[in-house]
Amino acid sequence: MKLSKETITLISDEDTIPIRCSLDSASAHRSLLEQEPMIANGNPVDMCKWFAFPMFDINSNFGFGEDMGYYDWVKFVIDYFYAATLLHQCHKFWPLNRLLALLIPPSTRKMQISHNEASLKGIRNRMAVDTDRHDFMHHFQKQAIKEGLPIKMIETQGAVVILADSETSSVAETAAIYHILTHLDIYKKLREEI
């Protein structure tokens, strides 16, 4: 994309003054407060999801070598975390585990399959790229090969990695914000310091 010669980064300092004033007005505190209803619509906001989206994006970059950028996939992974927990708990109740698994709705099983397929695709794409980018998969794959892990086992870890890294981080951030906002002394101190 070629930038216009009228862009703030290309015009003279003198000509940027009215543009900077306009941009300052748009990003002023009062203007940002007016934008708040666009985000919340007067309803409570699920901060866990707000933290989850960037965490999944960051971790998919570290794990798969690319930003997943799929809003639906990230939302799906958040929903899938519940399904995965449910399925995992069923397996603990041997010999009733198979009977309990039959009680899980088909939609939950579909979530599991879809998540595994999306994760597997991301891992396979990353493993197919020959790069010296030292991300998570670089180190994991290098060590896994030394350990003699089969390719299928390496690939399978993708589904776990994206959940474990992203979900735990976003939950920790949500808990931190909750505790800050419910302890006014800490909130006030942070506000002063920042």
- Between residues 67 and 46, which one has the greater pLDDT? 46
**pLDDT over 60 at 3, yes or no:** no
Rounded alpha-carbon distances, angstroms, from residue 189 to 29, 85, 176, 185, 193: 21, 38, 15, 6, 6
**pLDDT over 70 at 80, yes or no:** no
Rounded alpha-carbon distances, angstroms, from residue 101 to 62, 88, 94, 95, 113: 33, 10, 11, 11, 14
**pLDDT over 90 at 144, yes or no:** no
Query: What are 165-177's pLDDT values in tens digits?
Result: 777 788 888 899 9
**What's the pLDDT at 65?**
74
- The chain-wide mean pLDDT, for the chain, equals 78
**What's the pLDDT at 193?**
92
**What's the pLDDT at 184?**
93
Mean pLDDT value of segment 27-54: 78
**pLDDT over 90 at 94, yes or no:** no
**What's the pLDDT at 84?**
67
Residue 168 to residue 182: CA distance in whole angstroms: 21
Residue 47 to residue 174: CA distance in whole angstroms: 6
Residue 161 to residue 87: CA distance in whole angstroms: 17
Residue spans of the domains in the chain: they are 1-43, 47-193
Please give the model's pTM, rounded to 2 decimal places: 0.58
